[in-house]
Amino acid sequence: MSEHKSHAGKHHGFAHPASIKSLLLVFFALIILTWLTVFQSTLKLGSIELVVSLTIATIKASLVILFFMHMIHDKPLNAIAFLSSFIFVALFLGFILMDVHGYKDSYEFKNVDSAPKVAAATPE
């Protein structure tokens, strides 16, 4: 009734074991990039620092996704599903940031007292 794929000849069938070499290379690259992140934070880069650290983080993330999560050998559908989620995250963050920065001048940042709060706000 069901088509049974014979794996007698092939060693791994639909499995694609990663090579130890690639795993170790990726790991060491990640460690180096981590060190780089810490190092660049000690330099006084000013406002560009955020961009640099996020870029390095994204490179690290890409290595993890492509190799440790073996997306590089995976079906395109899985990649599309996962990567497209970031589009929605960008949408979410983008609109809200745009909006809040649009109206932020209409209110003030106040000095909040650390004393016990209003009685009505009873926590659960």
Partner 1 sequence: MTSHEHDSHDASHGHGEHAHMPFQAHHFDDPEQQFDAGKLGIWLFLVTEVLFFSGMFCAYALYRSLHPEVFTFASQYLNETLGATNTGVLLFSSLSMAWGVRCAQMRQRTGLVICLSVTLGCAAVFLGVKAIEYTHKWEMGLLPAGEYVSQFLQTSHHEGLSSWLYVLSAVPALCVVGFGIWYVLCVMSGNKQKAEVAGPFLVTALCYFLGVFIGIVFQNAEAAAHAKHETAAHASDSHPDHDQAEHTSDGHGEAPEQSAAAKLVSHVEPNSAPGAPTLAAVDQAGGAGVFFSIYYCMTGVHAVHILGGIAVLAWLLVRATKDHFNEEYFGPVDYVGLYWHLVDLIWIYLFPLLYLIK
Partner 2 sequence: MSAVATKPTHSHYESNEADNFLISSKGFLSWALTLDHKRIGLMYLIGVMSAFFLAGILALVLRTELMTPDQWFLTTQQYNQVFTLHGAIMVFLFIIPSVPAALGNFLVPVMLGAKDVAFPRLNLGSFYLWVGGAIFFMAAMLYTGLDTGWTFYTPYSTQTRGPVVAATMGVFILGFSSIFTGLNFIVTINTMRPPGMSWFKMPLFLWATYATAIIQVLATPVLGITVLLLAAERVFHIGIFDPQFNGDPVVFQHFFWFYSHPAVYIMILPGMGIISELMSVHCHKSIFGYRFIAYSSIAIALFGFLVWGHHMFTSGMAEVTTIVFSALTFTVSIPSAIKVFNWLATMYKGTVQLNTPMCYALSFIFLFTIGGLTGLWLGALSVDRHLHDTYFVVAHFHYVMVGGTLVGFLGGIFHWWPKMTGKMFNDFWGLVSCGFVFVGFNLTFLPQFVMGSRGMPRRYARYLPEFQEMHQMSTVGAYLLGLGLFVALGVLLHSLRRGKKAPPNPWGGATLEWQCSSPPPYYNFQTSPTVNEPYDYTPLVYRDAERGWDYVQPESAPKHVPHS
- Is residue 75 near partner 1 by the rule CB under 8 A? yes
- Is residue 17 near partner 1 by the rule CB under 8 A? yes
What string of DSSP letters covers 1-67?
---PPP-SSSSSTT--PPPHHHHHHHHHHHHHHHHHHHHHHHS--TTHHHHHHHHHHHHHHHHIIII
Q: Which residues bind partner 1 (CB under 8 A)?
A: 1-5, 7, 11-18, 20, 23-24, 26-27, 30-31, 34, 37-38, 41-42, 44, 49, 53-54, 56-57, 60-61, 64-65, 67-70, 74-75, 77-78, 81-82, 85-86, 88-89, 92-93, 96-97, 100-101, 104, 109-114, 117
